[in-house]
Each structure stands twice: as C-alpha cells, then as structure tokens.
C-alpha cells in the first residue's frame, strides 16, 4: 500500500471521527441563535464563531459538524440498507425460478424508472406529521435505502446467475449438493465482492441524496441539522454572493467525497474478498460497474 | 366575495393608501371616467419576469396568479380596482350608479368600444360574459362572488350601451364586485357555452390569434417554457392626454424564471427591466450591487399580505395525542402565550432585513381604510407568556420542559412551506422562542400543496406557518377566512361546534357585508379585529414590504398591492427616450 493511500485513509478516519465527535467538538449548540451576531464572518471574539454565523446567528462550525454527523450517517446507513436489501433480493432473483426472477426484476425496474425525488416527496407527504426527529431520521434513511435497491439488485442477480453457470457450481451440483448449500456456499458469496465495491460507490450518492433532500426542505426538520439544511441558505441570493463562510459544508462534503477511496477499491473488487477469506474461485470474478 | 390567494411566500405592499371613496359615500353613489389622460412616449419594449407559466388564457376558469396576470393584459372589465390606491376606477364602463340599498347597479358603457380584432363591443357581450360566469357548467370561481345572497343576479340589457345588474341581496362593496369580470366576444364563445365546453376553451395551446379581448395588448407569441410576447392592441379604449390610443409601449415580453434568485441574476445581467415583490434580502443585495444611476429601488411599505402561525383548533381528532394537543391549542391563554413569546422584531430584522411590519391583528397596516390602529401591540415578553401558561394550568417540569395538568410534555409539530425560505427561518426563530417556555417544536417542511391539504382537508396537523393575500382591501374578500363555514377557515375548516367568539365573528362579518352605512361597516370589522386579537385564532406575525426594482427611464410605474403587481398600469407605462430598450 502506497504512502498516499495510507495518508488518505488516515485523513478520512480523522474526518469521520470529527463528525462522530461533533457534540464534543462543537463550540455551541447548533440550534442556538445569537441574534445580535447574525451573518457574522469568522471571528473569535466573545462569543467565538470560528466559521462565522448564519442569518439567524447560529454558529456555522457547530452546524457543519452536527450536519456532517447526520448527513454521513444517513448516507452510510441508507447505502448499507440498499446493498443488504437489494443484494438479498437480487441473489434470490438470480437463484430462483424464472417467474419469480421476472416479477422481482420488473418491480426493481419500476423503482429505477421512478423519479426518486418525487416519490420521496409523495411518501413524506403521506406520513404522519408527529414523528420525533430520531424517527424521522430513521425514516428518511429507510426511504432512501429502499428506493436505492436497484443497482445492488442487478449486481447481485447478475453475479449469482453467472455463478450458477460456473464449473464449481456444476461440480457441486453433480456431487449432490442441495440448493440451500449451493446458495449459501457458492452463489451468495459470489455476489459479495461486487456488492462491497458497489457499497463504496453508493455511499457518496446516498450522502448527496440526503443533502439534496434536506436542501429542498424535505429532510429532517429543525431543530435537527444536516448539511443540506445549512446549504439551503445559499439559495438566498444575498447569502450566495456575500457570505462565503456559508460554503463550509460544501468543503466538508467535497473533502469526504475526495477521500473516499471509491475508485481504487472499485477497481480491485477482490479486496474485500481477500480480507474476508472468501473462496478463491469466487473472488472478484463478477465485479461490474453499477448501472 | 373573492377567494384570497394562498401563497407560502411573496408579498406586496404600499404604505400610503388613499381612502376608498366608494366605500365611504352614503346613499346612491356613482362613478365616471376621469377627464384627463396620462402622458408618455409611444414605442419601446418592456421585459418583465414571471415565476410560473399561465395554465390557461380562459378568463372564466383561471385561478392561479400567473394565468390571471397573463389574461389581465388581454382583457378588460367594466370597473377595476386600482391596484395601487385600491379605489374603483371605470374601465369599459363610462359610468355607473348604485341605488341606496346597494342592490341595483346601472352601468353605461363607453361609446365606440372594440375588441382587439376590431369587432364592436356592446352590452350583448357584457351580458353574455356575466351569464357565462354564472353558468355552473363553466366552473367559474367568480360565480360564488356574483351570486350575492346565494342567488344569481338578474342582468338586464337596457340598450346598446346600458345594462342593469340586480343583485338578490344588498352588497355593501357595490361596484367592486365587477373587478376582474372580463368581457369576452359573444360571437366567438357563445357556441362553446352552448355545447358546455366554455370551461376548457382558450387553453395554453390555443393559437394566439384566437385570443380576443378588450385589454391593452394582444398576444403575439407564446413560447412555452420561455416567454409570452404581447403587442399593443390598436383598438384599446383608453387614450392619452393628446387623445391618442394607448398603450404607449409597442411590446411587453414576459420571461419565465423559476425563482426570485434567478430573476435577480437576470436583472443584474440586464435581461429584465422590472422586478416586483422581491424578497427583502435580495432587494438589499441588489441595492448594493446595481448602480443607482440605472435602477430605481422602491420600498413601498407593507403589502396587504399577512403572515401568521395557526393552530389546529378542531375537536374531532381520533388520535389521542392529537386530541390532547388540540385541547391545549383551544385554550386562548395558550395561543396568547405563544404570541407573547414570538419575537416579531427578530423576525423583521433577521428574516426581512427590517423591511416588514410586525403585526398583532389579521389586517395589514397597509390596508388603511380597515386597519384598526387603536389595538394594543404587546411587546415580546417571555415573563407574560409564562403567566398566561400558568393561568391555563401548565407548569415547568423536569429539565425545564413545559408540562400540562397531567404531566405530559408540551410539544407540537409546525408545518412550513419547504419552498419558502422566509417561512423556514421564521419557523426556526419561533422554535427557539418557544423553547424558552419549555415548549418543544418540531418543524416539518412540506411542499405547499401538501401543506394546504393537511390544513384544510386532512386536519391531522398541530400548527402551520402560513400567509394570506387578500383578493381586495375590502373585508368582503375575507369572508371565506372568517366565517366558520368559509372554505379557507384555516383554524377549524369544518367546525363541529363553534365557540361564542366565533359566532360573534360570523355575525359581524355577515352584518358588514349587507350594511350600507360605511361607518357601521368599519365598526363591525374593527370589532372582528378586536375579537381576533383577544382570541388569537391566528397568531399574526408580520406583513412584509412591497419591494420593487425598476430600470430608470420607465415612466408611470406604480407597484400594485393586488395582482398584477408589476404590470398594474401596463397600459400607461412608457419609456423615456434614454430608457427605451
């Protein structure tokens, strides 16, 4: 492993740790309004605002840290859910009979064809209003995850179908292996490396989806804070043109996305398989770019 | 009565309003055309912007503001409400008289009126247009307004230029009823009325040559997604000081931009000449960046809109939590405490850059004829709010949270329009203010139509942040808000049982509509404001200013308090020699 990769991983770890420790590192409550200090550029008088304040006098650094915690965890959680659910359904479709495969595939095609943002708006509008912030957060994550199962589904289905036609599986079947044995020992493991790579590729997309949702005001409402709710203030023309410190979450988001080793890992899908000591025959044979 | 247009954001305003002469006259009243015309220079093009495209060009069914604004340039009504001073002015009607009971209007048309295709406009067209509005198959939103007393008026053609409108009941606002009742050519649309398809006529796909009206302009081109282009109507009735037919401008171009920020950028790029109803912070930012030598910035004071917090005062909730919360909300002391805790000055300063008026009653100070300036304006006070809450049986529990008599923590959700940045900021300010009382507020941003659906139909919400834009300065336009049976009765759209104060408001609103003495009308409406301030069905917060940027050289421009805000005087707008585009 090169020194650059090591440093990148260390930097990523530090960045993620910063957001995880947001409550301890934030100088102020992210929702507290210092109304006499509204729209202040970065300054460290009394009180100290290292990244300035927004239009309501809230500390931008505290909001960026707490927002990062929410946006990143929602993105990672939603990506994990999508890969888990999509992977399982895809593997089932790949291993199952034709009619079940067809039914599952059409449902997923439908999910892929739907414009997710409108679907989310519709679902959000239909939900009960009195949902506490923590449940609203879980709900948003679950919605993003369920709506994002398309790519993992196709990835897993393709991998399992290819594995079914492979020589080791034919040999095992010839030796009398049961369908359950084939599924757990050969077919599902064949899908794992591709899904692992796909998970890494999906995380940035889901983080951005949560940010977009909150940016549009459809995420988790005040007093919870996400990068999207902080960035939403940039929709105001005067903030956009004169309050440069309000771009702080953009820098944090770009840093996170740049440090994620998506490219390197996705080009080496056998990485996780090696770490997981998966069967050599199945290692990295079915990795394909997500659709 | 007219339906108020609901909007989550955007405001209008004008500080100085003249008294509405027709509302304060006693006995039989009359109106007639002014003697002298406007002055200006002929020629030139004006480019303005609009945030949405018209859905229809049908003057009978248009409900949305973009459609009605687009139609107003093409069509004319008998009598108009002046968009700036809110008095009535003659349009196609040369004069009118109203009997002392305010039930019979005699209208005289101007001589020699013509539609934009050159065909004559007579009382036949006026009678047809009124009857079309009243035909239930057409689905006109103005049908209800015209059916004063619940019955349609009798319309009698007296001769080529005179007609009589006999209302079924007294209607105090009188000729204001005729504003925005546009006159269309009978010969073109009568077949559509007969076959029942008038409601779908003149949709957005109609060839522009088929749209015929008596307004100042004709539609020259409609490029969906891009722009509307109007050219001057050579047969328009109004003339300038020298007797030449208006309008002054050769063309008006309306370009479509999705939001205020895009509009501001286009203005900076010199692509548009006029922007009305700007958000305060955008206005301030443009004022700093655009040269004063090229642009005129107008802050005309508060508009007619009022923004408020409304609790769900219904009583039929099936959910136990909601039922408990509605119990809190129905106590006026709880609502008053919330009002006391709301820091209106902070809202004005932080959200509107100081360009809004704090309000405590559901009438904007811009509406001078009806605004009751004698009502108290209690200052922001957490102490007073706590006293009200204590009197209502609430107390501070563990960790500073407010709890009710049963020890249940007081929390509620607050709906806000997700596309309205000002409302989201107000919601954040209220959240912090109420946290000082120990009340937990969770803001739920919702798409505007979903928000309306929750408030008016599903009624499963706790509270909402909303705005009302009255369709007129006259209280008649507020009937559907204040009457318990009104369609926009936002605090309890379908009341099972009305409290005494609501019954009093119902009686006062009904009485002001049929009272011909303007002083009694005013007293009745002031009493409505007093009851509303005491009982607080709406926690009124602010009335934002009417902010406009105009390229210098545009003459005769006055910002409108009612739509169309930018093109209220489109027929008299003109460019100076140096300003011509």
CA distance B559 to B155: 34
Chain B residue at shortest CA distance from A235: B261
Please name the member of B350, B442, B462 whose beta carbon is closest to the beta carbon of A133.
B442
Tell me, what's the pLDDT at B7? Answer: 39
Chain B residue at shortest CA distance from A224: B442
Q: Does A218 reach chain B within 8 Å, measured CB to CB?
A: yes
Calculate mean pLDDT across residues A129-155: 83
The CA distances from residue A274 to A287, B8, B216, in Å, are 14, 56, 78
CB pairs under 8 A between A and B: 99
Residue B244 domain-assigned (yes or no): no
Phi, psi of B38 (to 5 degrees): -75, 165
Q: Smallest CA–CA separation between A56 and chain B, in Å?
A: 6
Which chain A residues are within 8 Å of B343, Cβ to Cβ?
A: 35
Are A233 and B421 a contacting pair at CB < 8 A?
A: yes
Largest CA distance in chain B: 79
Residue B196 domain-assigned (yes or no): no
Residue B526 domain-assigned (yes or no): yes
**Model confidence at A1, in pLDDT bands (50, 70, 90)?**
low
CA distance B286 to B288: 5
Tell me, what's the pLDDT at A136? Answer: 76
CA distance B447 to B453: 10
Report whether the peptide linkage leading into residue A223 is cis, meaning its omega lies within 30 degrees of zero: yes
Please name the member of B261, B427, B460 whose beta carbon is closest to the beta carbon of A222.
B427
Q: Does B432 reach chain A within 8 Å, measured CB to CB?
A: yes
Tell me, what's the pLDDT at B74? Answer: 96
pLDDT tops 90 at residue A286: no
- Residues of B numbered 277-336 whose beta carbons fall under 8 angstroms of chain A's beta carbons: which are they? 279, 281-282, 284-286, 289, 321-322
**Model confidence at A280, in pLDDT bands (50, 70, 90)?**
very low
Residue B104 domain-assigned (yes or no): no
**Model confidence at A240, in pLDDT bands (50, 70, 90)?**
confident
Are A235 and B432 a contacting pair at CB < 8 A?
A: no
Residue B300 domain-assigned (yes or no): no
CA distance B265 to B366: 30
Please name the member of B284, B322, B446 whose beta carbon is closest to the beta carbon of A238.
B284
Tell me, what's the pLDDT at B165? Answer: 94
Question: Which residues have CB under 8 Å from B7's CB, separation 6+?
Answer: B65, B305, B467, B469
Question: Which residues have CB under 8 Å from B157's CB, separation 6+?
Answer: B123, B124, B127, B163
| Strand stretches in A175-276, DSSP E | none
Residue B83 domain-assigned (yes or no): no
Which of B264, B380, B444, B453 best probes binding to A when mutated, by most A CB atoms within 10 angstroms?
B444
CA distance B315 to B215: 49
Q: Does B461 reach chain A within 8 Å, measured CB to CB?
A: yes
Q: Does A241 reach chain B within 8 Å, measured CB to CB?
A: yes
Q: Smallest CA–CA separation between B57 and chain A, in Å?
A: 28
**CATH assignment of the domain containing B526:** 3.10.105.10
Looking at the structure of chain B, the number of domains it has is 1
Q: Smallest CA–CA separation between A34 and chain B, in Å?
A: 11
Question: pLDDT digit string (tens) for A162-178?
Answer: 888 888 888 888 888 88
Residue B421 domain-assigned (yes or no): yes
Which chain A residues are within 8 Å of B442, Cβ to Cβ?
A: 130, 132-133, 221-223
pLDDT tops 70 at residue A287: no
- Rounded mean pLDDT for each run of 10 residues along chain B, 581 residues in total: 38 29 39 67 93 89 85 95 90 93 93 95 95 89 78 91 92 90 94 92 92 96 94 95 92 89 88 91 90 92 94 86 92 96 96 96 92 92 95 90 94 89 93 94 84 87 91 87 87 89 94 89 95 95 95 91 88 82 60
Among A129-133, A214-218, B255-259, B516-520, the least confident range: A129-133
Which chain B residues are within 8 Å of A223, Cβ to Cβ?
A: 428, 431, 442-443
Question: pLDDT digit string (tens) for A95-109?
Answer: 887 888 899 999 888
Q: Does A221 reach chain B within 8 Å, measured CB to CB?
A: yes
Are A222 and B421 a contacting pair at CB < 8 A?
A: no
3-state SS record for A5-62: HHHHHHHHHHHHHHHHCHHHHCCCCCCCCCHHHCCCCCEECCCEECCCECCCCCEHHH
Tell me, what's the pLDDT at A290? Answer: 32
Q: Which tokens sit at A204? A: 């940035």
The CA distances from residue B439 to A32, B443, B522, in Å, are 15, 13, 38
- β-bridge pairing B162-166 and B154-157: antiparallel
Calculate mean pLDDT across residues A130-157: 84
Q: Does B419 reach chain A within 8 Å, measured CB to CB?
A: yes
The CA distances from residue B296 to B262, B418, B572, in Å, are 19, 31, 18
Tell me, what's the pLDDT at B156? Answer: 93
Tell me, what's the pLDDT at B21? Answer: 31
Per the structure, the complete domain to which residue B540 belongs is given by 306-544
Give the long-range contacts of residues A107-113, CB within 8 A, separation 24 or more.
A108/A149, A108/A150, A108/A153, A108/A154, A109/A150, A111/A147, A111/A149, A111/A150, A112/A150
CA distance A57 to A49: 10
Q: Up-side HSE of residue B97: CA atoms within 13 Å toward CB?
A: 6
Residue B413 domain-assigned (yes or no): yes
Is this complex scored with an ipTM above 0.85? no
């Amino acid at each position: 492993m090169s020194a650059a990769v090591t440093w990148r991983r260390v930097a990523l770890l530090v960045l993620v740790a910063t957001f995880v420790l947001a409550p301890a590192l934030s100088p102020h409550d992210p929702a507290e309004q210092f109304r006499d200090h509204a729209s202040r550029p970065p300054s460290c008088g009394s009180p100290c605002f290292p990244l300035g304040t927004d239009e309501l006098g809230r500390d931008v650094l505290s909001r960026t840290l707490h927002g990062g915690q929410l946006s990143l965890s929602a993105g990672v959680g939603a990506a994990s859910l999508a890969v888990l659910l999509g992977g399982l359904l895809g593997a089932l479709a790949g291993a199952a009979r034709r009619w079940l495969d067809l039914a599952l595939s059409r449902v997923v095609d439908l999910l892929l064809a739907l414009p997710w943002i409108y679907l989310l708006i519709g679902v959000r509008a239909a939900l009960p209003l009195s949902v506490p912030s923590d449940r609203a957060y879980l709900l948003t994550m679950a919605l993003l995850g369920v709506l994002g199962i398309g790519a993992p589904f196709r990835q897993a289905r393709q991998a399992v179908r290819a594995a079914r036609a492979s020589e080791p599986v034919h040999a095992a079947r010839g030796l009398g292996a049961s369908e359950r044995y084939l599924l757990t020992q050969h077919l599902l493991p064949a899908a794992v490396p591709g899904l692992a790579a796909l998970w890494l590729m999906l995380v940035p997309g889901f983080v951005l989806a949560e940010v977009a949702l909150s940016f549009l005001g459809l995420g988790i409402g005040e007093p919870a804070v996400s990068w999207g709710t902080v960035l939403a203030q940039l929709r105001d023309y005067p903030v956009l043109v004169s309050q440069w410190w309000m771009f702080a979450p953009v820098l944090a988001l770009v840093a996170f996305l740049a440090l994620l080793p998506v490219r390197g890992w996705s080009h080496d899908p056998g990485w996780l398989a090696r770490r997981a000591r998966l069967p050599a025959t199945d290692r990295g044979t079915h990795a394909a770019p997500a659709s | 009565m007219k339906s108020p247009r609901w909007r989550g954001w955007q405001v209008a305003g004008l500080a100085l309003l003249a008294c509405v002469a027709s509302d304060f006259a006693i006995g039989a009243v009359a109106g007639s055309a002014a003697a002298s015309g406007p002055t200006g220079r002929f020629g030139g093009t004006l480019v303005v912007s609009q945030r949405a495209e018209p859905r229809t060009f049908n003057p009978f069914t248009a409900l949305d503001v973009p459609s009605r604004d687009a139609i107003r340039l093409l069509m004319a009504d008998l009598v108009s409400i002046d968009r700036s001073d809110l008095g009535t002015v003659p349009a196609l009607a040369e004069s009118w008289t109203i009997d002392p009971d305010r039930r019979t209007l005699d209208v005289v048309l101007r001589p020699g009126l013509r539609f934009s295709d050159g065909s004559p406009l007579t009382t036949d067209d006026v009678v047809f247009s009124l009857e079309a509005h009243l035909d239930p198959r057409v689905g006109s939103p103005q049908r209800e307004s015209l059916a004063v007393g619940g019955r349609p008026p009798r319309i009698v053609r007296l001769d080529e230029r005179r007609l009589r409108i006999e209302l079924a009941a007294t209607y105090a606002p009188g000729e204001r009823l005729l504003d925005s009742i546009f006159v269309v050519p009978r010969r073109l649309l009568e077949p559509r009325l007969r076959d029942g398809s008038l409601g779908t006529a003149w949709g957005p796909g109609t060839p522009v040559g088929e749209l015929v009206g008596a307004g100042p302009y004709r539609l020259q081109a409609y490029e969906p997604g891009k722009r509307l282009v109007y050219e001057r109507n050579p047969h328009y009735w109004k003339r300038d000081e020298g007797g030449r037919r208006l309008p002054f401008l050769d063309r008006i171009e309306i370009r479509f931009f999705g939001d205020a920020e895009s509009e501001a950028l286009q203005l900076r790029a010199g692509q548009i000449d006029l922007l009305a109803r700007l958000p305060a912070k955008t206005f301030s930012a443009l004022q700093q960046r655009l040269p004063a030598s090229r642009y005129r910035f107008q802050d005309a004071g508060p508009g007619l809109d009022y923004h408020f917090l409304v609790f769900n005062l219904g009583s039929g909730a099936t959910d136990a939590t909601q039922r408990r919360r509605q119990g809190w909300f129905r106590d006026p002391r709880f609502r008053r405490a919330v009002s006391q805790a709301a820091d209106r000055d902070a809202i004005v300063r932080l959200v509107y850059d100081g360009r809004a008026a704090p309000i405590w009653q559901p009438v904007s100070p811009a509406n001078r004829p009806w605004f009751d300036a004698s009502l108290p304006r209690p200052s922001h006070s957490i102490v007073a709010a706590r006293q009200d809450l204590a009197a209502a049986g609430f107390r501070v529990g563990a960790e500073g949270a407010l709890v009710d008599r049963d020890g249940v923590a007081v929390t509620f959700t607050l709906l806000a329009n997700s596309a309205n940045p000002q409302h989201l900021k107000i919601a954040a300010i209220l959240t912090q203010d109420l946290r000082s009382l120990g009340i937990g507020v969770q803001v739920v941003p919702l798409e505007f139509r979903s928000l309306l659906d929750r408030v008016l139909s599903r009624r499963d919400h706790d509270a909402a942040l909303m705005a009302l834009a009255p369709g007129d300065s006259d209280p008649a336009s507020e009937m559907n808000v204040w009457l318990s049976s009104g369609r926009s009765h936002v605090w309890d759209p379908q009341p099972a049982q009305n409290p005494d104060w609501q019954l009093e408001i119902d009686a006062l609103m009904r009485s002001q509509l049929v009272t011909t003495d303007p002083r009694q009308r005013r007293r009745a409406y002031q009493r409505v404001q007093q009851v509303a301030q005491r009982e607080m069905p709406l926690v009124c917060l602010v009335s934002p200013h009417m902010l406009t940027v105009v390229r210098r050289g545009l003459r005769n421009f006055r910002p409108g308090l009612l739509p169309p805000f930018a093109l209220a005087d489109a027929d008299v707008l003109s460019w100076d020699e140096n300003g011509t585009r």
